[in-house]
Amino acid sequence: MLFQWVFVSLSFLAYVAALVTPLSDWAKLIKLGPNAPYHKAPAPRGVKQNLPSDCKVKQVVYLSRHGSRYPGFEGTYVSAMAQTVTTAQPVIASARLPRELRFLKTYTSTLGSEDLVDKGRQEMVHHGKEFRKRYPHFSFEHFVTSGSSRVIESATYFGKGYFGHNWNDPSMISPIPSNPATLSHLTPFQVCPNHSFSVSDSIKGAWQNIFMPAITARINAAVPGLNFADIDTLGGFYACAFDYAAHGESPWCGAFTKQEIDQFEYYADLDVSASWGLMHPQNMARVMGSVYTKKLIQRLSTNEENVAYVELGHDATIAVAMTAMGLATDDPLLPTTHIVPERKMRSSNQVPFGGQMVFEKFTCSRSFEGPQVRLILNEATYPLTPCIQSPRDAKYGTCSLSNFIQSNQFSMSIEFGDAQWAASCGVPA
């Protein structure tokens, strides 16, 4: 009795503690959109994660985004923020700061640019090991990668995980050049001259103007004389992600509340939707994603068995492919005025560093008739909603291969450079 009482009280205390404990850094990091470290996606409710036991995977088409890297354009904001902090150092030095901002007394930023960081190498070694464990009977001839060096390096570390640490065989890595003269299913945006980031700049800028000023004001009130502008605050969010990628921790993660992180997550989702999703006008993302989709269907339509395709690319590769397939697309489009909690676009879970999009073709002796397809996105079944027809399809999140092809008629109807391509992307070089 006493024991029970103690147990109940302790559970209650743990419950209260969970409510008042601030969100851990890790819980914040995995909400930072495409700059989130690799993590498993949450499994969607009501969808079986394992196939029936009479089913067998015949083909695997695997695509990984490169691992964690140094910042690209985000680095500009981090440096500007660090400069603002340095300029204010004389006032900060003598100020009484709240605990979560005390780090500003010594904060400096040392980050490289664009290249893979050690954590990114570890993510890829892990992916290689896990791939081997999951598909021991599958073989592949080479790694196909985009042309960028962090992607090629990612393939090298995937190979070390897969074959062993001494493995080093550059001849197994086949990069497709990333340039405007080369059509690649991994970088179709290179041949879409009218793609423009000004769209996402204005969309995410509109939301930034709504949520960021309050955060900036909070920081400025806590640190008189700091004089942050909203872009410094933005630099703080990016510093959380990229300090962590490069150094394994960032004091900036602790500087934001759960609500502020949720607002930044929405900012990241708008960014991906407007850069590589339906919010980019002229159906451009679907047109770009048609290249990967057609390649996938072409591969799944062969009779090969135990053959895997192992490819490495970018967040944009995954995002445009999913958009073309009608996955993770919000209808109506996401507003820039408030957060939509039930949205489908969740870039943190869909395209984090090292994000993995895996299509499996499988057949079953009893459960399903004919070849079937499923998508495993960051280790969770991602239901292929546009082609799901039967209750059994819905239970496993899968589709028959023929229904999958049927649901991708838009992609199948486009030829690179044809009128439809030109109407969205403009005329390629």
Ligand X SMILES: *[C@@H]1O[C@H](CO)[C@@H](O)[C@H](O)[C@H]1NC(C)=O
Residue 132 token pair: 């081997």
Residue nearest to ligand X as judged by C-beta position: 426
Number of neighbours of residue 237 by Cβ within 10 angstroms: 30
d(C-alpha 93, C-alpha 78), whole Å: 21
> Is the CB of 194 or the CB of 367 nearer to ligand X?
194
> Is the CB of 194 or the CB of 301 nearer to ligand X?
194
d(C-alpha 165, C-alpha 87), whole Å: 46
Measured in degrees and rounded to the nearest 5, phi and psi for residue 74 equal: -60, -25
**Binding test (CB under 6 A) with ligand X, winner from 6, 91, 423, 429:** 423
What is the nearest approach in angstroms of ligand X to the Cβ of residue 194? 4
What is the nearest approach in angstroms of ligand X to the Cβ of residue 426? 3
CA angle 324, 326, 327 (to 5 degrees): 105
Question: Are residues 328 and 344 in contact, defined by beta-carbon separation less than 8 angstroms?
Answer: yes
Q: Residues binding ligand X: what is the number (CB under 6 A)? A: 3
Q: How far is CA 70 from CA 123, 237, 366, in A?
A: 14, 14, 49
| 314 in catalytic set | no
Question: Are residues 187 and 320 in contact, defined by beta-carbon separation less than 8 angstroms?
Answer: no
Binding flag, residue 428, ligand X (CB under 6 A):
no
> Is the CB of 194 or the CB of 220 nearer to ligand X?
194
What is the nearest approach in angstroms of ligand X to the Cβ of residue 178? 21
Residue 22 token pair: 């601030």
List the x/- string, 170-199, binding to ligand X by CB under 6 A. ------------------------x-----
| 66 in catalytic set | yes
What is the nearest approach in angstroms of ligand X to the Cβ of residue 72? 24
Q: Which helix (H) or strand (E) holds 62?
A: strand 55-65
Q: Which of 232, 269, 271, 315 is catalytic?
A: 315
Question: Are residues 206 and 271 in contact, defined by beta-carbon separation less than 8 angstroms?
Answer: no
Residue 372 bridge partners (DSSP): 362, 400
> Is the CB of 151 or the CB of 284 nearer to ligand X?
284
Task: Kindly give the residue spans of alpha helices, DSSP state H, lying in 35-117.
Answer: 74-87, 89-94
What is the nearest approach in angstroms of ligand X to the Cβ of residue 196? 9
Longest dimension (CA), the chain: 79
> Is the CB of 282 or the CB of 402 nearer to ligand X?
282
What is the nearest approach in angstroms of ligand X to the Cβ of residue 205? 21
Binding flag, residue 429, ligand X (CB under 6 A):
no
Binding flag, residue 426, ligand X (CB under 6 A):
yes
> Is the CB of 199 or the CB of 222 nearer to ligand X?
199
Name the residues annotated as catalytic: 66, 315
Q: Which residues bind ligand X (CB under 6 A)?
A: 194, 423, 426
